[in-house]
Structure 1
Amino acid sequence: MAVEIRVPDLGESVVDVTVLKWHKQPGDSVEEGDVVVELETDKANVEVPAPSSGFLESISIQEGESASVGDLLGTITETPSQAREPSQPEAPQEREAVSPQAAHHTEVQPKATPSVRRLAEELGIDISKIEGSGAGGRITREDVLAMRQAPSGAQQAESSKTVEAQPIKETTPAPSEAPARELSELERRERMSTRRRVIARRLVEAQHTAAMLTTFNECDMSNVIEIRRRLGPRFQEKYGVKLGFMSFFTKAVVAALKEFPYLNAEIDGEDIILKYHYDIGIAVGAKEGLVVPVIRNADRKSFAEIEKEIDELATKVRNNTISLEEVRGGTFTITNGGIYGSLLSTPILNPPQVGILGMHAIKERPVVVEGQVVVRPMMYLALTYDHRIVDGSDAVRFLVRIKELIEDPTSLMLES
């Protein structure tokens, strides 16, 4: 009896995945718990273990193809006699049960995963009219979406019958319906990765589902810079990690969230969920886009613990070894565009969170202090918030509180 390997429930709004790599091939022996396939999501790569020992019988979704939670990835059998030869990794085709009398009328079904079939059905597309671009002619999610954008000649002919008697009007097709344009020799088409596609979709969703506003302030970084200059070498010697700016901002954000709890909340239908745990997401740049690992219980951690955890998580992101558990459940996010030289920007919310703080580059600027023009290292701060539950006055005062704590960080250090 074959044991199925399916895309696991990955939680945290993860729906679509891409098969990144098969570590076993049909005919290979596997032990229960062995990693058989690696999946890519928008947040992290996920290793799927063998649910039982035996031999990999079949692969249903090839490397580079998309799938959804619950889709069949492959099967495992108990004995090698049931396993297919490695040279024949054909995916089993889905067949509907038919009576013997009707068997000779049954047509071969196109190769496609259940999720791709569901998508085609939802879009009203005849999947039999699609020419698959995947391995072995398999129809992919992208093939279905391309069909929606560029209907086949057969579909165009069929649809034209219904309007044959109507006068022809000169119209310009909508951008979404335009066929993929031909590229010049100086251009190259590149398929978006699963992570990039989902990031793009979620950012657009955030724009459409939240009432986002951004408020700005500026912060004098003189005292933090002086503390890092004086204590930095001793801090690194004692804890084995540098004293960075992010630990100061993490501490300041937690302190401000305690004073303004609606910035540490989320909307659930018509309810507001207020959170009294402080799990701070720290945006880290990766090849495929920003990944936001989470510092859990940041209110209970020292400067050294925060810096160590940020360093460890950032390394995992860049090495592509971050786990889903390490990016789940943040209550507020900090992103630092300053490391790339950004002077000012408006960060986008990380749903379902209702607040995100943007840090920027530190620049020496002339400012007025007690009636005198002096040069100080200044940083612009940006707070984007969901105006549905966060009032403008609270957002402004929240950002002012962070500014005060950074400009006079003594209390932050005393608490640690």
Structure 2
Amino acid sequence: MSEIKVPDLGESISEGTIYKWLVNEGDTVGQGDVLAELETDKVNLEISAEEDGVITSILRQAGENVAVGEAIGIIGSGAGSQPQVTAAAAVEGAASSSAPAEPAASVSATAPEAAPEGPAAAGESNAALASPGARKLARERGIDLGEVSARDPIGRIGQADVKEHGAAAPAAAAPAVSAPAPQGKPEAAKPAAGKTQQPEDGKSVERKRMSRRRLTIASRLVEAQQTAAMLTTFNEVDMTAILDIRKRRKDAFKEKHEVGLGFMSFFTKAVIGALKAYPMLNAEIDGEDLVLKKFYDIGIAVAAKEGLVVPVVRDADRLSFPQIERQIGELASKARSNTLSLSELQGGTFTITNGGVFGSLLSTPILNTPQVGILGMHKIQLRPIALDEERMANRPMMYIALSYDHRIVDGSEAVSFLVKIKELLEDPESLLLEG
């Protein structure tokens, strides 16, 4: 028998949420088989079986938060070979680690004699077997774990057991009330997620539980608004030259490099050129210090099903146009299939986000803290432009926006940074020299 435990989730991540189980109790599994999917703040991870066997118990259900190292299930050696170990016997075995192990056949027979007597002893046994989440929930609701029954074969108490006990306690105590009292709503009387409610006014609503990633996105966006002195400046770019290059070169580029020539490589190169000219946009604040970064890891915002993610193109200043396009394409594909690794999301010195693919004409992007700058791209739209005092022409124009942290980036520097990007994009040949 072995426990299915939450693996190490990476730097700064101590817990996750069980997204879904891919097996059921009683299923036979082999070593390396994927058992469950775990959702963290950044990515979803798979939990695999470490040995062959049968899923004898699922301790934590989908939607429950679990900590690194916590047991979420049990794998037994076979469908009919799992010994019937009582909770008391399991605790006794854990407490008497120095005693020789007894044969499996004798465990259930001797358990009643070895079981501790009295409510205090039972409470200690249950508390010892309770999961960290169950102990926390019991403390919050004032529930004695000694009174909670466990559904798990080895007597381990989970959050669901504590919740069921809390819901059953008021009902059990009702006959002892001598006089009828007004019935109030239970403390946790929220309807279950995913259920359609029918309020008193007759209008239906649906309650959905927010995913861990959506909660993290919400928290980080609010944090960025509250901690940074965020300001946005705007400019517009004439995309004529870039569109002309793409029109002339895209077929040969695709044939040679097996990747399309998009806009992101041009913008990535332009951002790098501007960061080299104005390095404060490539810095971050650490307490009372400025950390000036001498490398260029550019984050590219990608809209995935579970929410926005920002994978990072490492050392983008050393990459060619085909390499940038290829890496962005691969990272975007992984983001949409939910297969990004933590290392592909960590770090980043500056971020680019493209709302133009969804039709956005103008927006104010929010900082991806602790970065101090983010560039927003928008929809390309034909607009009449004055070429000089006498001539007008329709040109493909794009509004670009730079949000920056005014604590360390002055307004003049931010405006100059954006102008530099505009100049590089309108003269793409300069990207070969400065980007």
Asked whether the two chains share a fold, i.e. TM above 0.5, the reply is yes
Question: In structure 2, how many angstroms separate the alpha carbons of the residues matched to 1:102 and 1:370?
Answer: 95
Q: Tell me the SS of whatever aligns to 1:61.
A: coil
Q: Contact 2:198 / 2:205 at 8 angstroms: preserved in 1?
A: no
- 1:377 and 2:393 correspond: no
Equivalent residue in structure 2 for 1:289, among 304, 307, 312: 307
Question: In structure 1, how many angstroms separate the alpha carbons of the residues matched to 2:9 and 2:261?
Answer: 38
Equivalent residue in structure 1 for 2:343, among 312, 325, 347: 325
CA-atom RMSD in angstroms: 3.9
Map residues 249-264 of structure 1 onto 2, 5 A cutoff. Answer: 249-264=267-282
Larger Rg: 2
TM-score (norm 2): 0.73
Question: In structure 1, how many angstroms separate the alpha carbons of the residues matched to 2:423 and 2:170?
Answer: 65
Question: In structure 2, how many angstroms separate the alpha carbons of the residues matched to 1:268 and 1:8?
Answer: 27
- 1:272 shift after superposition: 2.2
Q: Tell me the SS of whatever aligns to 1:238.
A: helix
User: What per-residue deviation string (whole Å, max 9, x for no partner) do you get for residues 250-285 of structure 1?
Assistant: 111111112222212222222222222211111111
Note closer, same or farther for the CA distance 1:276–1:235 as it changes in structure 2 (3 Å cut): same
Give structure 2 stretches of 5+ with no counterpart. 96-114, 172-187, 192-196
Q: Which residue of 1 aligns with 2:159?
A: 139
- 1:203 and 2:221 correspond: yes
Q: Contact 1:250 / 1:280 at 8 angstroms: preserved in 2?
A: yes
Q: Which residue of 2 aligns with 1:126?
A: 142
- 1:233 and 2:257 correspond: no
Map residues 321-360 of structure 1 onto 2, 5 A cutoff. Answer: 321-360=339-378
Q: Tell me the SS of whatever aligns to 2:42.
A: coil
Matched letter for residue 412 of structure 1? L
- 1:117 shift after superposition: 4.1
Matched letter for residue 360 of structure 1? H
- 1:102 shift after superposition: 4.9
Q: Which residue of 2 aligns with 1:364?
A: 382
Q: Contact 1:67 / 1:113 at 8 angstroms: preserved in 2?
A: no
User: What per-residue deviation string (whole Å, max 9, x for no partner) do you get for residues 211-232 of structure 1?
Assistant: 2111111111111111111111
Q: Which residue of 2 aligns with 1:21?
A: 20
- 1:391 and 2:390 correspond: no
Matched letter for residue 427 of structure 2? D
- 1:72 shift after superposition: 3.0
Question: In structure 1, how many angstroms separate the alpha carbons of the residues matched to 2:142 and 2:307?
Answer: 34
Question: In structure 1, how many angstroms separate the alpha carbons of the residues matched to 2:280 and 2:379?
Answer: 28
Question: In structure 2, how many angstroms separate the alpha carbons of the residues matched to 1:115 and 1:327?
Answer: 28
Q: Tell me the SS of whatever aligns to 2:159.
A: coil
Question: In structure 1, how many angstroms separate the alpha carbons of the residues matched to 2:326 and 2:252?
Answer: 15
- 1:336 shift after superposition: 0.4
TM-score (norm 1): 0.76
Q: Which residue of 2 aligns with 1:191?
A: 209
- 1:373 shift after superposition: 3.0
User: What per-residue deviation string (whole Å, max 9, x for no partner) do you get for residues 106-136 of structure 1?
Assistant: 4566997414644775xx543569xx9xx99
Q: Which residue of 2 aligns with 1:45?
A: 44
- 1:35 shift after superposition: 3.3
Percent identity reads 53
- 1:349 shift after superposition: 1.2
Question: In structure 2, how many angstroms separate the alpha carbons of the residues matched to 1:387 and 1:257?
Answer: 16
- 1:73 shift after superposition: 2.6
- 1:26 shift after superposition: 5.0
Q: Tell me the SS of whatever aligns to 1:350.
A: coil
Note closer, same or farther for the CA distance 1:256–1:187 as it changes in structure 2 (3 Å cut): same
User: What per-residue deviation string (whole Å, max 9, x for no partner) do you get for residues 69-110 of structure 1?
Assistant: 44333345678777579xxxx9xx99998x946545645669
Note closer, same or farther for the CA distance 1:115–1:259 as it changes in structure 2 (3 Å cut): farther
Q: Tell me the SS of whatever aligns to 1:218.
A: strand
Q: Tell me the SS of whatever aligns to 2:206.
A: coil
Number of aligned residue pairs: 373
- 1:401 and 2:420 correspond: yes
